[in-house]
Amino acid sequence: MWSLGVTLGRILIEQQDQAREGNGEFTMLLSQIATAAKIISNEMRRAGLAGLTGSTGEVNVQGEVVKKLDQLTNSVFVQVMEDSRLVCQVVSEEMEEALNVGGNCAGRQYSVLVDPLDGSSNADINGVTGTIFSVYRRLDPTAEGTSGEDLLRKGSEQVAAGYVMYGPSTILVYTSGEGVNGFTLEPSVGEFILSHQDIRMPTRGTMYAINHGNRAHWFPSTEKLVDHFSQLDDSTHRPYSQRWVGSLTADFHRILLEGGLYLYPGDKRRPCGKLRLLYECAPLAWVAEQAGGKASTGKERILDIQPTELHQRVPLIIGSQEDVAMAERFLQKEIAATET
């Protein structure tokens, strides 16, 4: 059992010296992200009664229908980042361009990238959703003006990454390079309390998550891999069970705690998959690795990819070390075949 006294605020201060970034401004920024999470959590809880469900009628830069809650959560997150006075630019799934929230930015140390509402198709049915975030230190925090180079960075350069899951309870999970901790929001006092200390992902699981509805578009290697999951083999605990919440945050959270793997591979229709590198794949990849797991496109480590565009998509295979390595062995055969 955890103690109500061990709050996110206390852990942030205790870990200030161990984090990749260890300073008061960084601690304040993470605490501001937690504030955004509390506000969004509250909005999600009252959405059904407050007329906040449904679409705006617009389509975003990704070509996806914009939900009212996509817009609301984006506005909340951006406003809290602006008010923090710690951030130069915010990149969001819901905004075509990076938004400058830091004036001339001189002295602003950080850039933040966010998927404000992940799994938004669940929002209208009171299903589980999330917020995924990633923090980078600006290449030159004293520089005036903004630079694209501050944003198109490899995931291996992140200084904080994590997610908030809005489920039966609201849980914030993050890393700043010293392992992974999870905090559950105690709504009556508005505090995130340490509930999952030093999370370690099982090296192998018995569950896989993939959208089978895409089967007609899959490459043959993906079909073979999924067939492999459903074969009988006691020694590897197959068949695996299949799970699909439709929210990466929720599917990843299950795998982080219980093991297995999540896949959104490239397919014939979308060779780069569906998920976005900078604010979905890279932050969760760092969380996975910090918990002893693995994240890959099937071909390369997610954290080693040099981004070329803000909303770039990449295939994602993430989860337990051995399960992801096994998936890579299947998928690499396909990659080798298409490259020759």
Residue numbers at the binding site for ligand AHG (CB under 6 A) = 64, 93, 115, 118-120, 211, 246-248, 251, 274
Task: Give bridge partners of residue 161 from the DSSP assignment.
Answer: 134, 175
93 lies in the site for Mn ion, by CB under 5 A: yes
Residue 247 binding partner per list Mn ion, ligand AHG, none, with a CB distance cut-off of 5 to 8 Å that depends on partner kind: ligand AHG
Stretch that binds Mn ion, among 35-43, 90-98, 250-258, 317-325 (CB under 5 A): 90-98
Cα 17 vs. chain centroid, distance in angstroms? 25
Say if CB 260 and CB 209 are below 8 A apart.
Answer: yes
d(CA 317, CA 294): 8
Cα 308 vs. chain centroid, distance in angstroms? 19
Say if CB 100 and CB 69 are below 8 A apart.
Answer: no
Task: Give bridge partners of residue 134 from the DSSP assignment.
Answer: 113, 161
The residue type at 265: P
| Residue number with CB closer to Mn ion (38 or 276) | 276
| Residue number with CB closer to ligand AHG (64 or 258) | 64
251 lies in the site for Mn ion, by CB under 5 A: no
Residue 91: Cβ-neighbour burial (10 angstroms; 0-12, 13-18, 19+)? buried
The interface mask with Mn ion, positions 42-81, x = CB under 5 A, is: ----------------------------------------
Residue 23 binding partner per list ligand AHG, Mn ion, none, with a CB distance cut-off of 5 to 8 Å that depends on partner kind: none
Instruction: Give phi and psi for 314, each to the nearest 5.
Output: -140, 150
Write down the least CB distance from residue 127 to ligand AHG, Å: 11
Structure tokens at 30: 């993470």
List for the chain the helix, strand, coil content (%; round to 5): 40, 25, 40
| Residue number with CB closer to Mn ion (21 or 267) | 267
| Residue number with CB closer to ligand AHG (21 or 118) | 118
Stretch that binds Mn ion, among 110-118, 142-150, 161-169, 209-217 (CB under 5 A): 110-118
| Residue number with CB closer to Mn ion (135 or 335) | 135
| Residue number with CB closer to ligand AHG (120 or 134) | 120
DSSP-based three-state secondary structure for 316: strand
Q: Which residues bind Mn ion (CB under 5 A)?
A: 93, 115, 117-118
